[in-house]
Structure 1
C-alpha cells in the first residue's frame, strides 16, 4: 500500500514508519520537526520503499492537497503538539495543531477516500476507578487544553466516519516510552529518569509521586497503531492500548534508580492537569485486532537504558 505518516519523524511516528516499511509498504513521512527529529528516521531514508520525507505542517492546506495527490491507501495521523504542560501555557498552538490540523488532514482523506488512523491519547480520560482498567466507554475529562483539543479532533474524525462513510479509527495508546524518545523536559518520564540516573543527578518527581501510569513499550505501541490501519474491524471505533498494569511514579523511580536518596519530590507545575490513576483495559484491542503487549516494563526499561547509553544522549 501507499501510506502517509504525519508526525513521521516523531518518537512513535518513526517506529510506525519502520514497521510499515518492514511490512513491505511504500511510505511518505510528513513532519515539521517542531518535536520530531530527522535522526529518528535516518536509518530508513535510503530504504527502497521509503518514498519521501516532507518537512511541513498539517496547518498548510496547499501542502496537504499536493501531498495527497499520491493517492494514499492509509493516513496514520500522528502529527500533533503533545506537551500537556505547554498546552496549559499556550493553548492556541495546541488547538491549531491538534484540532485544526486534524480537520485539514481529514478533509484530504475525505476528498481522496483515504482511511485515517487518528492518534489520540489516554490523557483524555478521567482517572481509572478500579483495577479493571479504563475502558473506551469510561468517562473522559479534558483536564488540559491538550486533552480538550484531542477530544475535539476525535469527535471530528468519528463524524467523518458517520457522515461520509470515511474509514476512520481513533486510537488511545497509554503512556508510551522507549528508544528515540526525547530525554529532555518534553520527553517521557522513563527517558528522563534514565538520563538523570546515568548522569548521576537526582530524579525529580512532581507532587507526592503516588500518581500511576500504564507504560507501553514503543515497539508494542507501533504494532498496535499499524494494525489499526490494516483492519476494518476497528473502523468507526475508539480503541485503547496499554500494558494492562500501572505503576506509581515513586515505584517507577525506585525501579530505575534503585537508590531512594537520588529521588526528590518537587512542586507540581500544573497539578490541575494530573490524572491520579492511569490503567489501561485493552480487551477491545485484543478482541478486534488480536493485539496484546509483548514487552514487560522491566525489559522495556533495560532496552531504553541501553539505547540512551549507546546514543550518548546523557
Structure 2
C-alpha cells in the first residue's frame, strides 16, 4: 500500500514507519519536527520503499492537498499532534489548533480521496480506573487537560466522518508508551527520564506522593498495535485501547529503576488537576478484533530502553 504517516519522525511514529517498511509498504512521512526529530528516521531514508520525508504542518491545506492528490494513498496513520499535557494547560490554543483543527484538515483530505485514517488518541481522555480488570473503551472519559479535550474533540470528528461519509476510520488509545527513541527530558516519558537521571547520577524526581499508577506499554508493542489497526477492517468505526494490562505506581517504578531509594525525591506537582490517579488498560477488544496483545514485559522493556539510552548519541 501507499501510506502517509503524519508525525512519522516522532517517538512512536518512527517505530510505526519501521514496521510498515518491514511489511513492504511505500511510506511518506509528514512531520513539522516540533516533537519529532529527523535523526529518528535517518536509517530509513535510503530504503527503497521510503518515498519521501516532508517537513510540513498538518494544518497546511495546500500541502495536504498536493500530497493526497499526487500520491494516491491507501491509508493514513495520523500521529501528528501536540502531546504535552502541561504545555496544553499553559498554551491551550496551540494544542487545540494542532490536535483538533489539524486532525480536521487531515480528515478532509481522507474524505475527498477516500483514504482510511487511523487516528492516534490517548489514554489521557479517561477518568481513573475503578475496575480491577482495567479501563475499557466504554468507560467514562474525563478531559482533565486541554490536551485530552482536544483529542476527544478530534475523536468525535473522526467518528462523524465514519458515520456521515462512510469513511474507513479507527480511533486508537494507547496507554503510556516508552522505549528507545523517546526523549529523556520534558513531560510524558517517565521511564526515559528516570533512566537518564539514573545513568547521569541525578535524583529521580516524582511529582506528588507517587501513588499514581501508569500502564506502561513498550514502543514496539505499541507500533504493532497501531499498524495492525490500519490493516483490519473489523475495527473501522471503533475505539480501541492498547496497554500492558498491568499498572505500576510511580514510586514502585522509581524503585525498579534505581535500587538506591535515597536517590528518589518527591516534588510538588506542577499541574495536579490533570493527574489521573490510576491508569490500567483493558485490551480485550484489540485481542478480540485483530488478535493483538503485548509481548514485552515491563522489566524487559526497561532493560532494552536503558541499554539504548546508555549507547545512543540522540539524547
Q: Same fold (TM over 0.5)?
A: yes
| Cα deviation digits, residues 113-145 of structure 1 (max 9, x gap) | 000000000000000002110000000000000
SS at match of 2:24: coil
The residue number in structure 1 matching 2:126 is 125
What is the CA RMSD across the aligned residues, in angstroms?
0.7
SS at match of 2:205: strand
Number of aligned residue pairs: 314
CA contact (8 A) 1:195 1:313 kept: no
The residue number in structure 1 matching 2:267 is 266
SS at match of 2:109: helix
Q: Report the alpha carbon displacement of residue 258 of structure 1 after superposing the two structures with TM.
A: 1.2
Alignment of 1:170-185 (within 5 A): 170-185=171-186
The residue number in structure 1 matching 2:169 is 168
CA contact (8 A) 2:95 2:150 kept: yes
SS at match of 2:36: coil
Mapped to 2, the partners of 1:87 and 1:185 lie a distance apart of 13
Alignment of 1:293-308 (within 5 A): 293-308=294-309
Alignment of 1:138-153 (within 5 A): 138-153=139-154
The residue number in structure 1 matching 2:113 is 112
SS at match of 2:76: strand
Q: Report the alpha carbon displacement of residue 313 of structure 1 after superposing the two structures with TM.
A: 5.4
SS at match of 2:306: helix
SS at match of 1:233: helix
Match status 1:29 vs 2:16: no
Mapped to 1, the partners of 2:313 and 2:144 lie a distance apart of 36
Q: Report the alpha carbon displacement of residue 185 of structure 1 after superposing the two structures with TM.
A: 1.2
The residue number in structure 2 matching 1:44 is 44
Normalised by the length of structure 2, the TM-score is: 0.99
| Cα deviation digits, residues 218-248 of structure 1 (max 9, x gap) | 0000000000000000000000000000000
The residue number in structure 1 matching 2:59 is 59
Match status 1:257 vs 2:273: no
Mapped to 2, the partners of 1:259 and 1:163 lie a distance apart of 56
Mapped to 2, the partners of 1:248 and 1:259 lie a distance apart of 17
Structure 1 unaligned regions, length at least 5 = none
Structure 2 unaligned regions, length at least 5 = none
SS at match of 2:158: helix
Q: Report the alpha carbon displacement of residue 187 of structure 1 after superposing the two structures with TM.
A: 4.9
The residue number in structure 1 matching 2:102 is 101
The residue number in structure 1 matching 2:92 is 91
Give 4+ residue runs of structure 1 displaced > 6 Å after superposition.
Answer: none
SS at match of 2:193: helix
| Cα deviation digits, residues 29-66 of structure 1 (max 9, x gap) | 00000000001001101100000000000010110000
The residue number in structure 1 matching 2:2 is 2
Mapped to 2, the partners of 1:235 and 1:101 lie a distance apart of 21
Shift in alpha-carbon separation, 1:270–1:245, aligned structure 2, 3 A: same
SS at match of 2:41: helix
SS at match of 2:234: helix
Mapped to 2, the partners of 1:223 and 1:56 lie a distance apart of 26
Mapped to 2, the partners of 1:186 and 1:310 lie a distance apart of 22
Match status 1:20 vs 2:26: no
The residue number in structure 1 matching 2:205 is 204
Q: Report the alpha carbon displacement of residue 186 of structure 1 after superposing the two structures with TM.
A: 3.6
The residue number in structure 1 matching 2:155 is 154
Alignment of 1:223-302 (within 5 A): 223-302=224-303
CA contact (8 A) 2:86 2:187 kept: no
